[in-house]
Structure 1
Amino acid sequence: MVPSLLFEVMLIFFLGIGSQWVAWRYRMPAIVVMAVTGLLVGPIFGLINPEEDFGSLYSPIISVAVAIILFEGSLNLSFKELRGVGKPIFRISTLGAFIAWILGSLTAHYIAGLDWPVAFVIGGLFIVTGPTVIMPLLRQSKLKPRPAKILKWEGIIVDPIGALLAVFAFEIIAYLTANDPDGTALAMFFAASIFAGIFGWVCGRGIGFVFERGHIPEFLKSPAVFTVVILCFTVADEIMHETGLLSVTAMGITLANMGISSVADMRHFKENISILLISAIFIMLTASLQLETILEIFSPNIIGYVLLMMFLVRPLSIFLSTFGTGLTFNEKLLVGWIAPRGIVALTVSSYFATILLDAGYDAEILTTLTFGLVFFTVLAHGFSIGWLAKKLNLSMEGRPGTLIVGSNIFTVELAKSLTKENVPVIIVDSSWERLKVAREAGVPFYHEELLSEQTEYHLDTIPYEYLVAATASKSYNSLVCTTFMPEYGRTNVFKISPYDKVYRTGEIVSKVGGRILFKKEVTLEDLEEKVQKGFVFRRTTITEQYSYKQYLAEKDDETVFLYLVKPTGQIKFYSEEMRTVPSTGDVIVSLMPRNKEKAKIQARLGNGDLE
C-alpha cells in the first residue's frame, strides 16, 4: 500500500499521464495501456484501491470528472459538422440506440442469465460508448472525416441517452412490479429529464451571454465555465440521478453553436483538462476492481454475452438504423464494429447494481458483466481500429503531410519536392492570383483564408501533421503559427524567418508562435531569389560510405538545408531549434546552386551516394 492519500493522488496522475505517453511513444491504444496499468497497480499487485482509500469522496470525484469530460466533448459538437452526416447520426442515436437496447436486453437475459428487469436496465446502459474511449481512438486512428464525425457525435450524444434509458427502465420496472402502482415516480422521471435539458440550455445561454457582454474578465472565463458545468450537473443530478449527464451535454452543445470566440479560445485548455481527467479516472476505476471480478469475466456466460454484443448486437443495430442514409458498406462495417464502453458504463452500472440489489433483484454479476464488456471492447476495438480502417480504405494513414500557408515560387517548389518524397502536401492561400503559381505547377491547393471559421469545416487537415507559414507577411505567419500551435504541437509548426536584414522589424514577431524555419538569416525574399537564380532542390542519401560529416564538408556555402526524411517516412524540417543529427539512411533535401551541383555530380559520377 502507498504511504499516504496524497502520494496515491500523485501516483494516479503520474500513471495516467505516463500511460498516455507510452501509448503515444509506441503507437498503442491509450485506453488499453491505462486499463492494464490500473489493473496492475490495483487488484493484481494491491498497491492502491481508490474506492476504499477515497471513501465517500470516490463517487462524487468520478461523477464530476465524467461531467467535465462529457461537457468538453459536447463543446466540439457544432451543427455545421452535420453537413452530409446528420441523417446517419440522428438514426444511430435514436433508432439504432433503441434496437441496441432491445437486442442487448434479450442477450443479457438469455445468454448472461439476468432477470428481465435487470436485463432491460443493463441493456439500456450498454448502448453507450462515450468520449472517454472514443476520443483517444479517433486521435490514434486518423479516420476519414465522415466515419470519425459519426463515431464522435454518437459517443457524446448517446452517453446521456444510455444512462437515461437505464433509469427509465428501472422506473418502469418499479412501477409495473409495485403492489400499489403509482405513476408519480415515472412522471417525475420525465419531468426531471425535460428540466435537465432545459436547465443545460439555460446555463449555456447564460454563460454565453455574460461572455459576449464582457461581464467576466478573460482570466476568470475558464474557472467560470467549469464552475457552471459543476453547478449544471449537480442541480440536475440531485433532482434525478443521471440526468446531470443530459444537462451538461445540452450546455456544451448550446455553447458550441453560439459562435463565441472566447469559448473557442478555451477549447484547447479544456481538452488538456479532459485528457488529464480521463487518464486519472480510468486508473482509479480499474484499480478499484476486485481480483475475483477480473477472474469471473472469463466465465462462459459472460464471454458469450460479450461476443454477441460485439459481433451481433452492435453491427445489426448500425446496419438496420442506417439503411438508406447514404453510408457506404465499409463505413457501416467500421461504425458497426467500433463501440468500446468506458467510464460511464462502469460508474452507472455500479450505481444500479446497488439499487437493484436493495430492491431484491439478482444483480450480483452486474459489475463483473460491465467490466467484461468494457475490458474486451477496449482491447478489441483499440487494437483493431487502425488496421480495419486501413483495410476498408477509411484511414488517412500514410506519411505525415505538410500544410503550407502562402503561395509563391519557393513554397511551390518546396511542395513539389515533398510530393516526390510521397509526402501529402497542400498550399493554402486566400489570394487566387498568388495561387496561380501552384495551379500551373499542379500542386494541391486550397483557396480560402486559413484563419476563417469556414476553412475549419471545409478543409480536411487530418493528413497534415506539419504546418509551414511562408507568406510575405511576417506578422501573419506568427499569427497562423500561434493559432495552430495547440493543434499541431509546438515542434511541428514552422515559419519563415521574420528577421529583416535592414530594419530588424521582425524582432517582435520572432518571439511569437512557431519555430524559425531553416535559418533566421534566410528570409522568404532570399529563398525566392535563390529559386529565381536557378538553385535546385537536391536530395542526398547519407550512407556508411558517405557520412553526414563528409556531406557538410563538401556542401556549398550558399546551400540551405530544408528538411530530412527518415527511413520510417518521418519528416524533420531544419530549424534554429533542431537538435537531430542525420544518420545512415536519412535523406537530406537542400536548396543548392545548380552549377555547384553539376560539378559535384561529375566528381561523384558512379559513386551512387548522390541521388
Structure 2
Amino acid sequence: MASLDAVSIAILLGAALVMAGILSSLLALRFGAPLLLVFLGIGMFAGDAGPGGLRFDDLQTTYLVGSVALALILFDGGLKTRFQTIQTVWGPASILATVGVLLTALITAPVARYALDLNWTESLLIGAVVASTDAAAVFLLIHAQGLRLRPRVGATLEVESGTNDPFAVFLTLMLVELISVGDGSLSRVLMHLAWDALFGAVFGIVGGLLVVMALNRVALPQGLHAPFVTTAALVIFGATQIAHASGFLAVYLAGIVIGNRPTRAHNSVVTFLDAATWLAQIVMFVLLGLLASPQRLLSSALPAVAVAMALMLVARPLAVFICLAPFRFSWRERLFIAWVGLRGAVGIFLASIPMLVGLSHAYLYFDVAFVVVLISLLLQGWTLGFAARKLHVALPRADRGPRRVELDLPGQLEQQLVGYAVRPKSLYLKRGLIPSWSKPTLVIRDERILMPDEAAPIVAGDYLYLLAPPEKAQALDRFFTDMVPSAMPDPHLLGDFMVAGDVTLGDIAVAYGLSVDPSDAHLTAADYFDIHLDHAPKQGATLPLDSIVLVARSIGGGRVNVVGLRLPEDEEAPPPPLSPFGRVKRTAARAWSLLTEP
C-alpha cells in the first residue's frame, strides 16, 4: 500500500505543478521570464539539499525532457517566423547565430580559465554552454513588458535567438567529444558541422513539407490537428538525431515551412504549441532545479559571477558590435541587441551534457551555467523595458490588444472567420474603417446572430466576425483596440512634400492635381494606410495614390501622423530658384493650407 500511496502522491504533485504552470501563464504577462525562476526555486526547494529532501540525479531523464522541451520551443519559434522576416534580416541574424556564438564563447573562455582554474578546452566549453541566447526568454519578456520593437531590431532578435541554439548545441557536443575522446582535428570538426547543417536542413524542410501535405490531405477528427503536428515535430527531431545530424535545426526549419504554408487548423496548432512550450519550460526548470545543489553553488558563486559579468558586459557586446559592423545598425540598436542576449534554460540544459557523459568538472559547468542564467534573467530581464526606452528602439504598447477568436472553415484554406468584441474607442467603431481584404460576415448582439446589414449600425459591445486570410488575421487587431490619442506631428517635419496624417485625400488631390476616387476623398491619409496595408503601419511604409506615392514618415498611437509625398521624377525637380526666405514662405503656406482647410 505504501508504494501505491507514493504513486498517488506523485500524481497529485505532478498535476498540481501542471495546474500551477497553467495559472502562472497569467502572471507571466506581468512579470515575464523571471517568473520561471520561481519554478527553478521550486525544484531546488524540493531537492535533497532543500526542505523537500527529494533526491534526484537522473541525468538521462533530465536530458530527455530538456531535449523535448528545447525541440518544442524551437519548433514553436519557427512556426511563428515569417519568410518575409527572415529575408529582411537573414544576413545579420545568421552571422550573430554562428560567428556571434563562437566569438562570445572565445571571449568568455579566458575569464573562465583564470576564474575557475581550467584548461583552455574546458574554458571554451564553459563559453559555449552560455553563448547562445534563449528565444523563449527573449520573446516572453518582450511581450510581457509590452514593447513594440523597431521592425529590424525585433526581426534580428527573433531570427538570431531561434537559430543560434543549434550552433551552440553543435559547439558544445564537439567540445565534450574533444575533452572525452581527444580526437579534435579541424577537418573532422568542419565535416561534423557540414553534416549537421546540411542533413539537419534536409530533414527539416522535407519533414515540414510532409507534415503540410498530411495536414491538408488527411481528414483528421476535430481537435487532433495540433497533437499531430506536435508529435510530428518530435518525430522529425528524433529521426534527424538518429541520423547524427542537427535535430534542433531540423525542427526549427520544419516549423518555418509549416508556419508559412496554408494548412488546416493553423491557429489551433499555434495555440496548442504556445501552451505546450510554456509547460515544457516549467518542467525543464523544475528538473534543473532538482539537479542543483545550493552548497555547490555557493562554493563556486564568485567565479561564476565573474563569468556572468564578463559574458553580459564584455563578450556579448563585443560579439554583437563586431558581427553587426557590416550592417547599417545604429549604435543604440547594437547596444540593445547586445543587452537582450538573455540566457535561459537552454544554457543549463547544455551544461547537463558533460554531467551525462561523466566529464571531470561536470558539476562545475552546470553550476556556472546555473548562476549565469539566474543573473541574466534577473539583471537583464528586469531592465529590458528600461533599456529599450532609454535607447529609443521601442515604444511601450498602449494595451495588450483585443482578444481575437479565430475559426477555421472546412473545405478551404484561403479564408477563416475572425471575431472581435467591438470596443467603444476602437478604430473600427470611431472611423468605420476595415481593411479591403476583410469582409464583415455576422454580428452577435444580445445573444442574437445578425447579418451585418441587419445589425447596422454596429455599436460598442457587439461581437463582429469577419472573413480574412489566415496570414493577415493578426493585422485586424489594430482596428479593434482602443485608439490612443495621436501625438501632434513636429512642425519642423512639415516640409515641401510632407503633410499631417489627418489631411484628407481630397485635400491632397486638390493641392497636387491628383485624381482620387470620390468615395475615398473623405478618407484621411492615416485612414488610407489603415485600410490598404496588410499590417500595422510602420515608418517607411508606402502606398500609391494616383501618380504619387504616400510614405509613412512618423507613427503615433499606432497610426500614421506624418505622411511624405513622393512625386514623379519630373515633378521632384526643383522649381526656378527662390531665395531662402521665399522657399520658407512657400513651404509654410502649403503646410498651413493643408492643415487648416475644412
TM-score, with length taken from structure 1:
0.62
After superposition, where does 1:2-401 map in structure 2 within 5 Å?
4-24=9-29, 29-42=34-47, 45-47=50-52, 49=54, 51-52=56-57, 57-82=61-86, 84-141=88-145, 142-144=147-149, 145-171=151-177, 187=191, 190-214=194-218, 216-240=220-244, 243-260=246-263, 262-299=265-302, 301-355=303-357, 357=359, 361-397=360-396, 399-400=398-399
Deviation of the 1:138 alpha carbon: 1.8
Query: Mapping of 1:453-532 within 5 angstroms?
Result: 472=456, 477-479=464-466
Q: Is the Cα–Cα contact under 8 Å of residues 8 and 48 in structure 1 kept in the other structure? A: no
Q: Is the 8 A contact 2:59 2:356 kept in 1?
A: no
Query: What are the superposed Cα offsets for residues 418-447 of structure 1, whole Å, 9 maximum, x if unpaired?
Result: 5xxxxxx6459xxxxxx9x68xxxxxx785
CA distance in 2, matches of 1:48, 1:7: 17
Distance 2:369 2:116 in 1: 11
Residue 101 to residue 45, structure 1, CA distance change in 2 (3 Å):
closer
1:83 CA displacement: 5.5
Q: Find the aligned partners of 1:129 and 1:494 in 2 and give their Cα distance.
A: 32
Farther off after superposition, 14-23 or 380-389: 14-23
- 2-structure distance, mates of 1:229, 1:111: 41
Helix, strand or coil: the match of 1:143? strand
**Cα distance change on mapping 1:48 and 1:71 into 2, 3 Å:** farther
How far did 1:295 drift?
1.7
Code of the aligned partner of 2:65 = I
- CA distance in structure 1 between the aligned counterparts of 2:289 and 2:187, rounded to whole angstroms: 38
- Amino acid paired to 2:369: T
3-state DSSP of counterpart to 1:478: strand
Displacement of 1:23 in angstroms is: 4.0
C-alpha distance after superposition, 1:376-433 (max 9, x if no partner): 111112111012112222333154287899xxxxxxxx99x95xxxxxx6459xxxxx
Distance 1:30 1:67 in 2: 22
State which of 443, 449, 453 in structure 1 corresponds to 2:437: 449
Aligned residue pairs, count: 442
Q: Do 2:170 and 2:193's aligned partners in 1 also have CA atoms closer than 8 Å?
A: no
1: CA distance, partners of 2:111 / 2:43: 29
Q: Is the 8 A contact 1:297 1:371 kept in 2?
A: no
- Alpha-carbon separation, structure 1, partners of 2:307 and 2:62: 29
Structure 2 Cα separation of the partners of residues 72 and 194 of structure 1: 21
Deviation at 1:374, TM superposition (A): 0.9
CA distance in 2, matches of 1:74, 1:83: 14
In 2, distance between residues paired with 1:4 and 1:403? Answer: 41
| Aligned mates of 1:366, 1:163 — CA distance in 2 | 15
Contact 2:129 2:369 in 1 (8 A): no
Letter in 2 for 1:13: V
1:402, 1:426 within 8 Å by CA — same for their partners in 2?
A: no
> Which ranges in structure 1 are unaligned for 5 or more consecutive residues?
406-413, 419-424, 429-434, 439-444, 453-468, 496-611
Return the alpha-carbon distance in structure 2 between the equivalents of residues 43 and 480 of structure 1: 56
Deviations 1:14-34 (A, max 9, x none): 343344444445678433444
After TM superposition, give the deviation of residue 481 of structure 1 in Å.
11
DSSP 3-state at the match of 2:301: coil
Shift of 1:450: 5.4
Rounded to whole Å, the distance in 1 between the matches of 2:126 and 2:254 is 27
SS in 2 for 1:128: coil
157-166 or 55-64: bigger deviation: 55-64
Contact 2:33/2:137 (8 A) holds in 1: no
Structure 2: distance between partners of 1:159 and 1:70: 8
Q: Deviations over 1:100-137 (max 9, x none)?
A: 23212333223333221222233223221223322211
1:138–1:177 CA distance, 2 compared to 1 (3 A): same
Give the distance between the partners of 1:374 and 1:191, measured in 2 at CA.
Answer: 30
Residues 192-216 of structure 1 show CA distances to partners (whole Å, capped at 9, x for unaligned) of 5532331122211111122233454
Q: Following TM superposition, by how much is the alpha carbon of 1:375 offset from its aligned partner in structure 2, in angstroms?
A: 0.9
Structure 1 residue 13: Cα displacement: 1.8
Give the match's secondary structure for 2:464.
helix
Percent identity between the two aligned chains: 20
Going from structure 1 to structure 2, the CA distance change for 1:273 and 1:352 (only over 3 Å counts) comes to same
Change (3 A) 1:316 1:185: closer
Give CA deviations for 1:42-79 in whole Å, capped at 9, x if unaligned. Answer: 46643274844x78544323322221122111111221
The 8 Å contact of residues 19 and 33 in structure 1, kept in 2 or not, is answered as no
* 1:534 paired residue number: none
* Contact 1:89-1:153 at 8 Å conserved across structures: yes
1:135 partner amino acid: F
Question: Distance in 2 between the 1:185 and 1:98 partners?
Answer: 14
Root mean square deviation of aligned Cα: 4.3
Residues in 2 aligned to 1:71 and 1:350: alpha-carbon distance in whole angstroms: 22
- Tell me if structure 2 keeps the 8 A contact 1:341–1:378: yes
* Cα-to-partner distance string for 1:337-378 (whole Å, 9 max, x where unaligned): 112222222122111244362xxx544411111111111111
For the 8 Å contact 1:114–1:363, the answer to whether it is kept is: no
Query: TM-score normalised to the size of structure 2?
Result: 0.64
Output the CA distance in 2 between the equivalents of 1:481 and 1:46.
54
Question: Matched residues in 2 for 1:27 and 1:186: separation?
Answer: 38
What pairs up with 1:398-409 in 2 under 5 angstroms? Answer: 399-400=398-399
Residues 100 and 317 of structure 1 are in contact (CA less than 8 Å); yes or no, is this contact kept in structure 2? Answer: yes
Mean Cα displacement is larger for which, 22-31 or 301-310?
A: 22-31
The residue matched to 2:52 in structure 1 has which SS?
A: coil
